[in-house]
Structure 1
């Protein structure tokens, strides 16, 4: 069975004038369907670059990346955008909700952008996604009427509404207090237990502990993978 994510010798080099920044230097790993993986590392370690590559928001300078069996580095920009919209749900530190729209309307937006989904079905699927994150009773509220934790749950529902194969969360608790962060991570754990593949970027060890596996980056290199520890013990 193909891995959900298969990365081989992935590198990303940025050139700023005559300066060359090697943000990622030949990283290789697999993530299987249903895994919950945290990517950790200090500022400048390459974790955001890796997340952007996994999320099809950027393309590698060299190396190979397969998402659900698709050779991502070979796709043209239009196909890449289609894969991103169909296969991946994104959750960011900032909630990026539209202030004038209700929670229900915000969650339905990816279906509206995709096209071909009737408005009634968009709203029905959005309502189901909000129920899934425990906010069905707040569907008619606008962002300013919701707490930070509730807004992030709306953002998660929006990521889930397209039934993605993969959920990517980039510092999702960065704007939340400790208690609300724990509640949000419990929600992500529940989603993972239901079969969702989740990759989380965080610099907080307390948050990373919710994942079942941790990949640690430093200076663009993968320096530690807890899956290898488990393999060695077995």
Structure 2
């Protein structure tokens, strides 16, 4: 099975005043097509920065990242935007639904950004996506008329409507209760069984263990890469999420030459 994501020695450094914050420090891994993966780590570990890289929302300071064969670090902002729209379906903790629009209209919105898809086709594809996530009878409902779990399903349908190569979810169950969280994770598992590549970014062991593979990030580095059955062989959480601070180094001053 070919690789969907290839990350090699990925580094991201942010300059904050006189300090450099090393958010990612030489991360390397591959994710094959059709995998169901959790990227897990505590606050400050670098997992959100890594998600931004995978989602083409940011570019690395050094290293390389190929998504579905595309050299992401070499793309200009316009091409990155096109990749996000065509290759990646995003799901976030907050649903980001338009309150005055119906579920159908919300799901169809990403297709409108492409500019070359007729309105009828956009609505047909949106209806199919809503049916796929079990909301075929809620298409005309607005967000305030839906439960939290239903709103997240609408958000997932919106991510699916463009037929993305990758479904990328950032803390997708963070705003949901336990029962609804389990339902949403079951939906992700169902989508993965159809062959879709699914990557979940989370700090919750209960979420990560429902995937098939764990990438554990700490202090900007990949600490563990294993099957979730190996991470929790007895069904217990052996990863304790402890807050970690980003490593800060002084910015080297440039030499100044006297005139």
TM, length-normalised to structure 2: 0.87
Aligned residue for 1:165? 165
Matches of 2:170 and 2:195 in 1, distance apart?
A: 20
Q: How many angstroms does 1:18 deviate by? A: 1.0
Question: In structure 2, the residue corresponding to 1:169 is in which secondary structure?
Answer: strand
Q: Secondary structure at the match of 1:182?
A: helix
Q: Any conservation in 2 of the 1:39–1:47 contact (CA below 8 Å)? A: yes
Structure 2, gaps ≥5 residues long? 231-259
Q: Map 1:1-234 onto structure 2 (within 5 A).
A: 2-227=2-227
CA distance, structure 1, for counterparts of residue 80 and residue 143 of structure 2: 31
**Residues in 2 aligned to 1:69 and 1:228: alpha-carbon distance in whole angstroms:** 27
How far off its partner does 1:170 sit?
A: 0.1
Aligned Cα RMSD in Å?
1.2
Are the counterparts in 2 of residues 2 and 69 from structure 1 also a CA contact under 8 Å?
A: no
Whether contact under 8 Å (1:3, 1:31) holds in the other structure is yes
TM-score, normalised to structure 1's length?
0.96
Which sits farther off after the overlay, 13-22 or 219-228?
219-228
